[in-house]
Structure 1
Amino acid sequence: MRVVLTLLGLSGAISASAALFPVVAQDFEDSDLFKPLDPMELAVDSDIDSQPIKAAPLDSDLSVQDDLDPDSSYDSSISATLTPDEVKEPVDPTPVAVLPEPKLKLLPEVVRVITGEASWYGPGFYGNHTANGEIYRQGTMTAAHRTLPFGTKVRVTNIRNGRSAVIRINDRGPFVDHRVIDLGHGAASTLGLISSGIAQVKLEVLR
């Protein structure tokens, strides 16, 4: 009896399933679940999935690992400190010239002042020897005096025009009592005595 009931139940279930199958099959077709697969699509998808993913190469401008490596340019032979023997004094390429100390020019000392009349001698005496042995020539800054030593320098000032010159004594004269000095041609020209021949002068004997 139990077997009969079981068979009747299975028969009813199969009948109900047969009634439902057309609806379910239609639904599967609408949802593309039973659409046949293309073998080429499966091959393409398989190749894509099987290829490993490679990272894109970095731009060379962004590769700064070598530049930022602190040890890449370090030379182990360079010491961080210097020994006293390695320290050298800088050499000055332009040595400073040492200038000599300027010599002070001392003004001559006036040891004697004489005033009187001065004259000059010229053309008739050119080429002759003076009292100290020199040859008298035109334009010389020399003079004759009766007593001053040869080589004495005197500052002669023409009182009339204020001209002055330092003259060296190398001859004897003048031999006129009231005249105090006889000038050479160059000295007379400097003091302005050529045209007048004589003039009142002041003699300052220098030392």
Structure 2
Amino acid sequence: MKKKATVILIAPLISGCITLVGPEGSPEIKAPITAKTIQKPTLAKGCQSIYRVNGKSYCVLKHSKGFEQIGIASWYGPNFHGRKTASGEIYNMYKMTAAHKTLPLGTYVKVINLENGKTAIVKINDRGPFVPGRIIDLSFAAAEKLGILGKGTAKVKIIALGRKEDHHYVTENYQKGNFFVQLAAFKEYSNAKAFMDKVKKSGIKADIVMAYGLYRVVVGPELTYVKAQEKKEEIRKLFPDAFILTID
């Protein structure tokens, strides 16, 4: 069954990438997210998930309500154009997006350049920057609007707006909602269908949704994140790369 959906990932994609970058022109590294870089530490209060990069743990916040932050912004461009982000979206340097270490993927934030007063609204769809002292990595388009392309970095203030719905912003709530467990994703529907049939033979009831240009084989929904976590752990016995996402 095909469905159109908006997806917000609750855990980093195993097949995605984490962005470790500086301003354009400086050394840039793209570190693939693997089982070795993502581990399962005990969740701290206020974390919906935790991931590790280069031995350091990062707490993905349960929501963005009231989140504000001041620090240094950088940007990344042509070297990453067309690559997959941590959210599963393909990075487009001409769209208003950004990478942040801890805000929920799918969160929109207002970025204020404190050096020139320019502002921009961007969607967080990637992880990073993992350079000390930097708090957000902007797309080329966002950096251009904020006037930081030439300099490469700028002191900014981030104000979280929430998730975008019908031309307004709402605060995420990962305690209640429609939570699914994704088993796999494919470019072709026929491959997703074949995989779903295989899943069903194992006794797991699965479905197919279309999101971010991929056909995703999922199980659910569960109405709470806790129930989804339980379902994920059960499914991971057969499909170890399964993770949680929400579908509106």
- TM-score, normalised relative to structure 1: 0.46
**Bigger Rg, which one:** 1
* Structure ranking higher in helix proportion: 1
- TM-score, normalised relative to structure 2: 0.39
